[in-house]
């Protein structure tokens, strides 16, 4: 047998023995490996001590901000502090507006009771004068920040809508007609300068006003005023038709306008009940049957 063939056969036999033998025996059958050790002086010269990165940065301080960046953010801080102080003053006045508006609305609730209308309107008008003075204070505050009306408008928006609703209902009780935008501004002492009555606040207030009519009509019919449903129905019909001329977006005002048709429907039902019973003044039962 040739030497090469003998070496191959010996290797194959060693491998079979390694696979078949237990692990400890397999390691004994493998040929030993040679380990080369480097001299100690070569190991020490080839490796140099490296300081950990955290050790070098632990004693270092963050670099100072550039001067222009420091000045810019200092200016921002002053502006935000001034805006916050101004907003606190506005909210203090708006809180008083809300209180006066609630007092006026509470006075108007007496129209559902057997109380003279003049007494009810007198109490409501007393609060309107208070509200007018508070809006004058708001106008003086806003003079300190010209051109910033709509920046702070949200702080008194909802309160103004409630005030307009109260004013419009009071005006209808007195005259039977619609409170115009110019008249509402005049009652609140607005319109001069930048601070005025926002159109959307005025329109939303009118939508709020329509919520008071269904209950008012029912109570007036109960009290024997059978002509009241006809007057309210005529007014709400004209107001609803006027709103339909506007191209309203799908927002808060549009939702309030959609609610007006339900108020109109409830008033129509009251008027229908009064009419079919022949209680409408100036109409005979024959006229009702023909209609």
Domain for residue 171, yes or no?
Answer: yes
Domain for residue 176, yes or no?
Answer: yes
| Cα-based torsion angle of the residue sequence 46, 49, 50, 54 in order, rounded to the nearest 10 degrees | 160
At 25, is the pLDDT very low, low, confident or very high (cuts 50, 70, 90)? very low
**Quick one: pLDDT at residue 248?**
87
Query: Cα–chain-centroid distance for residue 56?
Result: 51
Question: The CATH number of the domain where 133 resides is what?
Answer: 1.20.58.190
Same domain, 148 and 191: yes
Question: The CATH number of the domain where 209 resides is what?
Answer: 1.20.58.200
Same domain, 93 and 176: yes
Q: What is the pLDDT of residues 4-13, one digit of tens each?
A: 556 656 666 6
CA distance 66 to 176: 68
Q: What is the mean pLDDT of the chain?
A: 82
Sole residue written with tokens 């208070």: 130
Same domain, 114 and 172: yes
Please classify residue 156 by burial: count the beta carbons closer than 10 Å to its beta carbon, then call 0-12 exposed, 13-18 middle and 19+ buried: buried
Same domain, 167 and 269: no
Q: What is the pLDDT of residues 120-162, one digit of tens each?
A: 999 999 999 999 999 999 999 988 888 888 889 989 999 999 9
* pLDDT value at 50 more than 70: no
Domain boundary among 173, 196, 219: 196
* pLDDT value at 278 more than 90: no
Q: What is the pLDDT of residues 174-204, one digit of tens each?
A: 999 999 999 999 999 987 667 889 999 999 9
Number of folded domains in the chain?
2
Domain boundary among 196, 215, 247: 196
Same domain, 101 and 188: yes
Domain boundary among 165, 196, 227: 196
CA distances from 287 to 195, 221, 233, 280 (A): 53, 21, 19, 11
Domain for residue 32, yes or no?
Answer: no
* Helix %, strand %, coil % of the chain (to 5): 75, 0, 25
Q: What is the pLDDT of residues 153-164, one digit of tens each?
A: 989 999 999 999
Domain for residue 283, yes or no?
Answer: no
- The CA R_g of the chain, rounded to the nearest whole Å, is 44
Same domain, 124 and 221: no
Evaluate whether 195 touches 235 at the Cβ level (below 8 Å). no
Same domain, 233 and 137: no
Same domain, 119 and 205: no
CA count, 13 A, side-chain hemisphere, 74 = 7
Domain for residue 21, yes or no?
Answer: no
Same domain, 177 and 223: no
**Quick one: pLDDT at residue 83?**
84
Evaluate whether 152 touches 196 at the Cβ level (below 8 Å). no
Evaluate whether 176 touches 231 at the Cβ level (below 8 Å). yes
* pLDDT value at 291 more than 50: no
CA distance 199 to 268: 29
Q: What is the pLDDT of residues 222-267, one digit of tens each?
A: 999 999 999 999 999 999 999 999 988 878 999 999 999 999 999 9
Domain for residue 98, yes or no?
Answer: yes
CA proximity to 96, closest of 137, 45, 60: 137
CA distance 106 to 94: 18
Domain for residue 123, yes or no?
Answer: yes
Evaluate whether 263 touches 211 at the Cβ level (below 8 Å). yes
Same domain, 211 and 182: no
- In which domain, by residue range, is 245 found? 198-277
Same domain, 171 and 257: no
Same domain, 263 and 218: yes
CA distance 200 to 216: 25
Domain for residue 64, yes or no?
Answer: no
Tokens representing residue 283 in the block? 């109409």
């Amino acid at each position: 047998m040739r030497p090469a063939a003998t070496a191959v056969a010996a290797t194959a036999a060693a491998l079979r023995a390694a696979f078949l033998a237990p692990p400890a025996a397999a390691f004994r059958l493998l040929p030993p490996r040679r380990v080369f050790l480097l001299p100690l002086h070569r190991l020490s010269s080839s490796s140099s001590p490296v300081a950990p990165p955290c050790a070098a940065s632990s004693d270092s301080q963050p670099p100072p901000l550039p001067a222009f960046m420091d000045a810019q953010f200092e200016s921002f801080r002053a502006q935000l502090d001034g805006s916050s102080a101004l907003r606190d003053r506005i909210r203090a006045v708006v809180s008083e507006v809300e209180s006066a508006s609630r007092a006026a609305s509470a006075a108007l609730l007496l129209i559902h009771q057997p109380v003279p209308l003049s007494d009810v309107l007198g109490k409501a008008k007393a609060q309107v004068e208070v509200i007018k003075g508070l809006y004058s204070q708001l106008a003086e505050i806003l003079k300190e920040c010209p051109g910033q009306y709509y920046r702070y408008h949200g702080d008194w928006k909802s309160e103004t809508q409630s005030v307009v609703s109260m004013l419009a209902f009071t005006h209808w009780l007195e005259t039977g007609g619609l409170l115009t935008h110019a008249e509402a501004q005049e009652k609140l002492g607005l319109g001069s300068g930048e601070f005025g009555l926002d159109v959307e606040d005025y329109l939303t207030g009118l939508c709020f006003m329509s919520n008071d009519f269904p209950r008012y009509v029912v109570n007036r019919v109960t009290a024997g005023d059978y002509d009241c449903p006809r007057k309210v129905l005529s007014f709400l019909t004209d107001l609803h038709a006027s709103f339909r001329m506007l191209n309203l977006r799908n927002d808060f005002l549009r939702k309030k306008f959609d609610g007006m048709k339900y108020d109109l429907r409830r008033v129509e039902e009251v008027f229908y009940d009064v009419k079919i019973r022949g209680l409408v003044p100036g109409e005979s039962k024959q006229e009702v049957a023909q209609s």
